Amino acid sequence: MLKKIANPAALCLAALLCLAACSPFAHLTEVNNTLGEAHGPKAVDCGQCHIEQFGEWQASAHAQAFVNPRFQAALADGADDSCLGCHVPDTVRANGEPPVPRNYHRQDGVSCVACHLDKGAMTGPEPESALFTPHPIAVQPEFFRTSGLCGTCHTETFRNWQASRSNHPATPTCQECHMPPVVRTATKGSNPFSKALVAFEESRPTRRHTFGLAHLAEIPGLIEIKMLGWQPEKSSPLQLSVRNLLPHSLPTGSFRTRRIWIKTTLHTQPKTVLEPSLFLGHGWTTLAGDGIPALAADEARTLTIPIILAPGASLTSAELLTVQVLLGPLAEEEDLPMLRKEFILPGTR
């Protein structure tokens, strides 16, 4: 659809560029979820114009929600529509009810249309600024900025968040933590014609579609670690206190298949920044998982850490302690760092 544009020349330019570069877009807002006739747009269709958002989504857990090997194994064990509704939702606009599963393009998992398509229009938090919009667009800022959107499926985490918000009104939303801010245009061009169209768009503050955890290690104040004791003459010389400052449990979610590790490493203090630290020893302790309950919001847990020494090393020469909080991996992933903190050990300079 063409927007009303005061400048006739700009209108003509938009129309010509569209004819030269655009394919039909009506299918982007045509959905039928009826068995036997089910059809709707693929995420890759949206990705033709929303290039950055598609790339971020493609690397996210939302894109893997259906094809994830663990979920496929659960389906083989008899998981029903109550699971499918959140792993392949037709729409998350479920008015408090569990989402209905989608019968088309299930390999897309939690797809673009599940969140953005409403009443025949693609919706978003910001008004469109492009000269040409190839499909109907609506603006719903509050819908996309409230945690209730995520709470449609992440029910337990959302209840945790609600309890935190009632006691601490400044508690950030899901989006503020899990969708990093970015300033950009809504679309990106992929050829000279579409790039010329995008050149008329305004860059606006919005959020990335990563729905991730990796950037959380850069945010202070999520986890608090204190050293309670250091007694190098004992077999388990180190005591730590770990407090969860997140507005939900750690790890969160109903299944809690991930572990939370505490990794401690002892060093001597480097004499200069160019001299590498001498490794002395390390310890691994499970904070949650493996039968150990999740750490509730604002809960603290005391840990006694055994230290494994390298041959010939001595605890009495240790001067620096580094502590890492790591989120255990799923499938082929690596441990995800959530926090790293250094302590100068007692008795050292």
Order the strands of the 238-244 sheet from edge to edge: 223-230, 238-244, 300-305
Does pLDDT of 3 surpass 50? no
Give the position of tokens 């050293």: 227
Q: What are the pLDDT digits (tens) for 187-214?
A: 988 777 677 777 788 999 999 999 988 7
> What stretch(es) of the chain map to CATH 2.60.40.10?
221-344
CB 54 within 8 A of CB 44: yes
CATH number of 221-344: 2.60.40.10
Q: What is the pLDDT of residue 19?
A: 45
Place 15 in a pLDDT band, splitting at 50, 70 and 90: low
pLDDT: is 88 or 132 the higher one? Answer: 88
Q: Is 218 helix (H, G, I), strand (E, B) or coil?
A: helix
Rounded Cα–Cα distance for residues 47 and 53 (Å): 7
Among 237, 234, 255, CA closest to 330: 255
pLDDT of residue 24 exceeding 70: no
pLDDT at 21: 47
Among the ranges given (143-157, 184-198, 315-329), the one the predictor scored with the smallest mean pLDDT:
184-198
pLDDT (average), residues 27-36: 89
Higher local confidence (pLDDT), 272 or 30? 30
Per-residue pLDDT tens over the stretch 339-348: 999 999 987 5
Least confident interval from 153-162, 270-279, 286-295: 270-279
Q: Hey, what are 69's tokens? A: 């090997």
Closest CA to 250 of 156, 151, 152: 156
Of residues 268 and 239, the one with the higher pLDDT is 239
Supply the pLDDT for residue 276.
67
Question: Strands 308-309 and 238-244: what pairing?
Answer: unpaired
Q: Return the structure tokens found at 270.
A: 């480097």
* Per-residue pLDDT reduced to its tens digit, 39-89: 999 999 999 999 999 999 999 999 999 998 888 988 888 767 678 999 999
More confident call, 143 vs 276: 143
Q: Which residue has the higher pLDDT, 43 or 337?
A: 43
Token duo for residue 166: 């009632």
